[in-house]
Amino acid sequence: SQQGEEDPQALSIQEGENATMNCSYKTSINNLQWYRQNSGRGLVHLILIRSNEREKHSGRLRVTLDTSKKSSSLLITASRAADTASYFCASNSGYSTLTFGKGTMLLVSP
Amino acid sequence: DVKVTQSSRYLVKRTGEKVFLECVQDMDHENMFWYRQDPGLGLRLIYFSYDVKMKEKGDIPEGYSVSREKKERFSLILESASTNQTSMYLCASSHLRQAKNIQYFGAGTRLSVL
């Protein structure tokens, strides 16, 4: 079921600014993943953070995880127009399926 | 690189038609999934399969069926299409025994039922 919730639903920033998106989930997890979706396309996996990790970096992406609050955040630093997309979190509770949030639409203006 | 291919990017069908959406993956993944995506509702799981001829209902299976005759192919079937099935359909696959459980998605099929 759809348990994850992203916040905000939409975010509009200028190029060069940082973008922060938050995600909450409801059950215990093995890992938490973030995906990106360009308009009208499929989702692409960005980054994964395990339940025993608190922070992870990949290029301009920084993900944090707080299992006590069942929440995660995705920070994109120095945003570019090409970062314009929807971003989804997905929680993995150890089963074959993932539980996706409803997504944050990010618009980065030049 | 993993490739998940959905047979059509856009489809227009009439109410009552039987519709087949095809998905093929080339990475020998055991798991395959069908989602629909609607504005404000995010991704909702319709069906998934963890092996050939095996299927499990997701959150919204009503009005849909699936077929998995070969490991690389997973088909979604709308037995009698209705206008409320107009949506974006996404197929995904993943490796059954990979603890990370990362899913790889196709480009999506935008279905319009008139």
- Give the type of residue at A32: L
Please state the domain extents for chain A: 5-109
Measured distance CA(A97)–CA(B8) in Å, rounded: 24
Question: CB contact, 8 Å: A90 with chain B?
Answer: yes
Q: Under a CB-based contact definition with an 8 Å cutoff, are residues B22 and B36 in contact?
A: no
Beta-bridged to residue B42, according to DSSP, are B38
Is residue B102, in this structure, part of any structural domain at all? no
Element (H, E) at A78: none
Of A106, A90, A67, whose CA–CA distance to A3 is shortest?
A: A90
In CATH, which of 2.60.40.10, 2.60.40.420, 3.40.50.10190, 3.40.50.1820 is domain A5-109? Answer: 2.60.40.10
Give the residue from chain B lying closest to A42, CA to CA.
B107
CB pairs under 8 A between A and B: 60
- Inspect the interface and report whether the beta carbons of A90 and B107 lie closer than 8 Å: no
Average pLDDT score over residue span B6-20? 96
β-pairing verdict for A19-24 and A71-76: antiparallel
Measured distance CA(B22)–CA(B91) in Å, rounded: 9
| Tens-digit pLDDT profile for residues B64-95 | 999 999 999 999 999 999 999 999 999 999 99
Give the residue from chain B lying closest to A29, CA to CA.
B100
Give the residue from chain A lying closest to B6, CA to CA.
A42
- Res. A6 pLDDT band, cuts 50 70 90: confident
What's the domain count of chain B? 1
Token pair, residue A107, equals 């618009």
